[in-house]
Amino acid sequence: MHMVLRHGTIVTATDIYQADIGIHNGLVALIGRDLHGDSILDADGRYVFPGAIDPHTHLELDSMDTVSADDFYTGTVAAACGGTTTIIDYAEQSQGGTLRDALQAWRDKAENKAVVDYGFHVSITDATEEVLTEMQEMVTQGVPSFKCYLAYPEKLTDAELLRVLLRAREIGAVVNVHCENGSLVDFMTDRLLQEGKTEPRWHPRSRPASFETEATQRAVTLAEIAEAPLYVVHLTCAEALKAAKRARASGRPILVETCPQYLLLDVERYDEPDFGGAKYVMSPPLRERWNQQVLWNGLVVGDIDVIGTDHCPFNLVGQKDIGRDDFSKIPNGMPGVETRVPLLYHEGVNKGRISLNRFVELVATNPARIFGLLPQKGTIAVGSDADLVVWDPDKEMTLSVENLHMNVDYSPYEDVTVRGYPEIVLSRGKVIVRDNHFQGQAGSGRFLRRKPFVA
């Protein structure tokens, strides 16, 4: 045995027990008592979680005349320091381009930089017949999930989304949908700007919860017609959740993701002075606070399956400030890949809202199951990759741009103190983080070929 992780309390989506973990050739080789190995890592008094999976990141994304501030090195270092050992990033089809080119472009961005394992979803922005045919090749290449936008210039029409859903069903893929009514957003944005309403606080008014709810209902309806699985990305509000819930009640494979920002931050953030509201300009926007309780309930009762991040950071200085005189020009997105797991642990587990098992399920096991990575990732079992997090439940950390690793000049959670933080993080059996210091190697992350979707 190369290494033994000794005396930790192992937590999976279903179990909590104390045992040693024997690691050999990057895999969990044995789980038992009194194991011996070439080296020993002591985990006494700490939890051992499966490395978390963030199924929603945008690293090095060209967006609104700039590029998201984390590349595959800084973004995955930050992920690892926060306990995330797998990401699934979005490769974007360019207008008129092929899915093959999109996937290759993103694989090239990641190859020599990523420090944790990674997969890709491919976003379909141009749903031609050729592209629908090409979807099969993506599944064969280990990309069994596609994204469609109902907002932004890349938005698909209803008929186009329906075609993608029908095709996805045939080939064992799931379609991730960004649910906002883009035509209404465009109309409302123009109207607000014409009225001279240009500050960040008008961003949420340009895309209210009702626009998200309508688009969520529409995506659900189209998925029902196609009898295809649907994964609603970054759901923010009570009414949209209701729409998804109704379809789930009739047995449809409708899966729902939310993000920490929608559980913890609210629309009042846009009123921060001195252009501070720009920090939270993302789509969909933060909502009124009362929605948060509904989302937490959804996590508890199982109406929400996954916590992702939608990590898409832009610096306040030099990027967000492109939109100082026009909120619609502020690059959309926020940092989050490093803080997701500690925030959910602190706000969820410490505050008694969710159990330890449910926590692991939301940040690791469900993303692995839905996106074709289980049992290689997302759990701790003999034969799984030794992507492991030794978690110190007593470690307090005050989150700040000073001690976080994301390559961005602000933290939306500046000065928030969490209790519970990764002490050691292993990627395929190698220690890559110790006490918030990264000690792995650029390019050590591998491209993951994921399995087709199973309902």
What residues numbered 47-86 form the site for ligand URP, per CB under 6 A?
58
Q: Where are the beta strands (DSSP E) in 340-382?
A: none
For ligand URP, give the closer residue by CB, 278 or 344: 278
387 binds, among ligand URP, Zn ion, none (CB under 5 to 8 A by kind): none
Size of the site for ligand URP (CB under 6 A): 8
For ligand URP, give the closer residue by CB, 134 or 310: 310
Given the rule CB under 5 A, which residues bind Zn ion?
310
Closest CA to 230 of 284, 290, 150, 295: 150
Beta bridge partners of 89: 57, 120
For ligand URP, give the closer residue by CB, 58 or 405: 58
For ligand URP, give the closer residue by CB, 9 or 176: 176
Supply the DSSP string of 176-228, one letter for each residue. EEE---HHHHHHHHHHHHHTT--SGGGHHHHS-HHHHHHHHHHHHHHHHHHT-
Distance, CA of 428 to CA of 37 (rounded, Å)? 16
Shortest distance (Å) from residue 407 CB to ligand URP: 16
Beta bridge partners of 257: 306
332 binds, among Zn ion, ligand URP, none (CB under 5 to 8 A by kind): ligand URP
Secondary structure of residue 384 in the 3-state scheme: coil
For Zn ion, give the closer residue by CB, 70 or 310: 310
Q: What is the DSSP letter of 155?
A: P
Q: Count CB neighbours of 409 within 10 A.
A: 17
Shortest distance (Å) from residue 384 CB to ligand URP: 29
283 binds, among Zn ion, ligand URP, none (CB under 5 to 8 A by kind): ligand URP
Block residue for tokens 């009042």: 268
What residues numbered 174-203 form the site for ligand URP, per CB under 6 A?
178
Shortest distance (Å) from residue 90 CB to ligand URP: 7
What residues numbered 231-250 form the site for ligand URP, per CB under 6 A?
none
309 binds, among ligand URP, Zn ion, none (CB under 5 to 8 A by kind): none
Shortest distance (Å) from residue 355 CB to ligand URP: 29
For Zn ion, give the closer residue by CB, 21 or 122: 122
Distance, CA of 340 to CA of 345 (rounded, Å)? 9
Shortest distance (Å) from residue 282 CB to Zn ion: 8
For ligand URP, give the closer residue by CB, 22 or 367: 367
For Zn ion, give the closer residue by CB, 3 or 259: 259
For ligand URP, give the closer residue by CB, 4 or 215: 215
Supply the DSSP string of 22-47, one letter for each residue. EEETTEEEEEESS---SEEEE-TTSE
Distance, CA of 429 to CA of 90 (rounded, Å)? 26
Distance, CA of 368 to CA of 375 (rounded, Å)? 8
The reply to whether 279 sits near ligand URP by the rule CB under 6 A is no
In the shown chain, the binding pattern of residues 326 to 345 toward ligand URP, with x for contact by CB under 6 A and - for none, equals: ------xx------------
In the shown chain, the binding pattern of residues 305 to 324 toward ligand URP, with x for contact by CB under 6 A and - for none, equals: -----x-x------------
Q: CA triplet 347, 393, 374: central angle to 5 degrees?
A: 80
Closest CA to 1 of 297, 256, 382: 382
Q: What are the CA-CA distances from residue 38 to residues 102, 167, 238, 426 (Å)?
A: 43, 50, 52, 16
Shortest distance (Å) from residue 403 CB to ligand URP: 25
Shortest distance (Å) from residue 232 CB to ligand URP: 12
Shortest distance (Å) from residue 227 CB to ligand URP: 26
Secondary structure of residue 199 in the 3-state scheme: coil
For ligand URP, give the closer residue by CB, 61 or 115: 61
Closest CA to 162 of 106, 124, 192, 107: 124
369 binds, among ligand URP, Zn ion, none (CB under 5 to 8 A by kind): none
Residues 210/218, Cβ–Cβ less than 8 Å: no
Shortest distance (Å) from residue 259 CB to ligand URP: 9
Distance, CA of 412 to CA of 416 (rounded, Å)? 9
Q: What is the DSSP letter of 394?
A: E
Q: Which amino acid is at 152?
A: Y
Shortest distance (Å) from residue 152 CB to ligand URP: 7
Q: Count CB neighbours of 452 within 10 A.
A: 14
Q: State the residues that interact with ligand URP by CB under 6 A.
A: 58, 178, 282-283, 310, 312, 332-333
